[in-house]
């Protein structure tokens, strides 16, 4: 009988038949001392390119854990709907929630945006990227969304790709609902503001961009993390790609 898969891990190594992978310190520690796995037990590995592989623990020595690749479990799927989430950094605890839920909801890329009313100016992008990786491992995605370095709203708008629609979430507006505006295909993104919302001048500045569609998520004022999660749920369920 083939042993059950005990864990899923993201690695950066190439994955292919006959190959093996040495695990980095923290992942080796996780397998050996948290999950208490031993040689002969199996885990799943993915790297965002080569699909998902069954890997058997071959060696647990001082140098780390060596895994031998046994068989491909799933090929790399075509990328899901190409949705980015642009959001202002918010309080610790809540920002991790945005990263985790956005990863589960299939977001391709997470972009941190510093707006006028953003309170949290210092963001540890590496720590957020680790959250994205863990969420991808848990939700059985075969890729990990990139967490981009924080940029100012001006810079984000300046460099905005021509072919990517940008749905800007604005509370207390008479904008159409995201559900009504979201149908269609092609690359797109959401922009959600900080706890204090966007400044009126910012909303005016954003609206100049031809790719922008201002949208509402209903009559209540949602917390930034609620807005991000609710908007992503809508967007990923109606976008074709």
* Interface ranges with ligand SAH (CB under 6 A): 169-171, 192-193, 195-198, 216-218, 220-222, 224, 227
Cα–Cα distance, 49 to 104 (Å, whole number): 18
Reference 39, options 81, 82, 6, 85; nearest CA is 6
Q: Two tokens at 125?
A: 């992008």
In which region does residue 218 sit, left (phi positive, over 0), alpha (psi from -120 to 50) or beta (all else)?
left
Minimum distance, C-beta of residue 153 to ligand SAH, in the bound complex (Å): 11
145 in Cβ contact with 102 (< 8 Å): yes
Minimum distance, C-beta of residue 113 to ligand SAH, in the bound complex (Å): 11
Nearer to ligand SAH, 27 or 216 (CB): 216
Minimum distance, C-beta of residue 221 to ligand SAH, in the bound complex (Å): 5
Nearer to ligand SAH, 16 or 218 (CB): 218
Q: Two tokens at 38?
A: 């031993």
Minimum distance, C-beta of residue 227 to ligand SAH, in the bound complex (Å): 3
Nearer to ligand SAH, 33 or 220 (CB): 220
Minimum distance, C-beta of residue 181 to ligand SAH, in the bound complex (Å): 11
Nearer to ligand SAH, 141 or 165 (CB): 165
Cα–Cα distance, 16 to 73 (Å, whole number): 11
Cα–Cα distance, 112 to 114 (Å, whole number): 7
Neighbouring CB atoms inside 10 A of 208's CB total: 8
Which residues, listed in sequence order, are joined to residue 167 by a DSSP beta bridge?
Answer: 190, 213
Nearer to ligand SAH, 49 or 223 (CB): 223
17 in Cβ contact with 69 (< 8 Å): yes
């Amino acid at each position: 009988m083939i042993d059950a898969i005990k864990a899923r891990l993201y690695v950066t190594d190439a994955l292919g038949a006959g190959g093996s992978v040495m695990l980095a310190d923290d992942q080796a520690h996780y397998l050996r001392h948290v999950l208490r796995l031993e040689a002969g037990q199996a885990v799943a590995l993915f790297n965002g390119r080569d699909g998902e592989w069954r890997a058997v623990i071959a060696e647990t020595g001082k140098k780390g854990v060596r895994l031998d690749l046994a068989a491909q479990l799933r090929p790399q799927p075509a990328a899901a709907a190409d949705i980015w989430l642009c959001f202002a950094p918010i309080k610790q605890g809540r920002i991790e929630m945005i990263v985790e839920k956005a990863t589960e909801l299939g977001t391709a890329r997470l972009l941190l945006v510093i707006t006028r009313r953003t309170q949290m100016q210092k963001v540890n992008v590496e720590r957020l990227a680790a959250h994205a990786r863990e969420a991808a491992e848990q939700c059985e995605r075969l890729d990990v969304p990139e967490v981009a370095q924080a940029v100012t709203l001006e810079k984000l708008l300046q460099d905005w790709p021509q072919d990517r629609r940008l749905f800007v979430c604005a509370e207390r507006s008479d904008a159409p609902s995201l559900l009504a505006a979201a149908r269609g295909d092609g690359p797109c993104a959401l922009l959600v503001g900080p706890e204090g919302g966007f400044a009126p001048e910012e909303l005016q500045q954003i609206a100049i961009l031809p790719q922008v569609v201002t949208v509402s998520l209903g009559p209540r004022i949602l917390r930034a993390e609620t807005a991000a999660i609710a908007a992503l749920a809508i967007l990923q369920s109606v976008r074709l790609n």
